[in-house]
Homo-oligomer: A and B are copies of this chain.
Amino acid sequence: MSPAIHNRAFAELGLDFVYLAFRVEEVKAAMEGMRALENFTGLSVTIPHKTAVIPHLDDIATVDATIGSVNTVVKTGGRVKGLGTDGPGARRALTECGVALEDRDILLLGSGGAARAIAFDLAFHARPSALTILGVIPDELDALERDLKQKTEVSVTSALVTDASLEQNVENAQVLIHATPVGMHPNTEESVVPDNLLRSDLAVMDIVYNPLETRLLKDAAKRGAKTISGLEMFVNQAVLQFEAWTGQEAPVEVMREVVLANLG
């Protein structure tokens, strides 16, 4: 979907840019080529190259070096910098929907790549009072908690997902971020969180955007909770890429329309 979003946004602002999709196996050569093609301004990095690209960058934001992956590369004055926009995109989606993060207890479900990016971004930039992470892969979950403790000052705890851990931690949280694939098409009736735990003073974000309204978000809305769909994170991570490449304010509404049209 990225070519559709960014090309439409370039056109909207009349910018002489084009976004193209390239299959890549040789990351080193691709990055050398990006340097050699002088007006090649930036790129997105997708799985499986988000970590492999790092040795080929001149600069990386501290938070992204800590996360160990980037999804965006921008070349400025011959220097190639990497950054991640998934975590900042999630945070921007929350704050633009009016969800306060500072001094709040945030519950993060999941410990994979997206959860890791969101956790570090929150730890670096959002000043939550506490961050709790529930996951199902013990090694990955432990590593995330350990890295957060070693490399940031956030107050973090983690536990395996159980009925008991969910009950206790949803109750304690003001913000719940679901960062696992559960509920994604075609398993649209699944949710990690029992609906009776949801309540009106909880803000619930789901990073799944297909469907736009997951079972979790439906359940949360029924209970009167504020809900933020994965669409908002997806649009905002693209907005941050666009702004890194062009130095211009992104046409957010147009970009959201493209995503909606492509999802529809």
- Interface residues of chain A, those whose CB is within 8 Å of chain B, are 18, 20-40
Contacts and interface: CB of A to CB of B under 8 A. Distances in A.
A28 B36 CA distance: 8
Sorted from nearest, which 6 A-B pairs have the closest CB atoms? A33-B33, A29-B36, A30-B36, A23-B38, A22-B37, A29-B32
Nearest to A40: B22
Contact of A36 (B20, B24, B39): B24
A4 to B, nearest CB: 13
A41 to B, nearest CB: 11
Contacts of A30: 33, 36-37
Contacts of A23: 37-39
A88 B30 CA distance: 32
Nearest to A28: B36
8 contacts: A23-B37, A24-B38, A26-B32, A27-B36, A28-B36, A30-B37, A33-B33, A33-B35
Contacts of A32: 26, 29, 32-33, 36
Nearest to A18: B18
Contacts of A40: 22
A93 to B, nearest CB: 31
Nearest to A24: B36
Contacts of A29: 32-33, 35-36
Given A30-B36, A32-B29, A20 B22 contact: no
Contact of A33 (B20, B21, B36): B36
A205 B122 CA distance: 69
A30 B20 CA distance: 17
Contacts of A31: 33
Contacts of A38: 22-25
A45 to B, nearest CB: 13
Given A18-B18, A18-B20, A33 B25 contact: no
Contacts of A27: 36
Contacts of A18: 18, 20
Nearest to A17: B20
A25 B21 CA distance: 24
Contacts of A22: 37-40
Given A24-B38, A29-B35, A33-B34, 4 more contacts: A22-B38, A24-B36, A25-B38, A31-B33
Contacts of A26: 32, 35-36
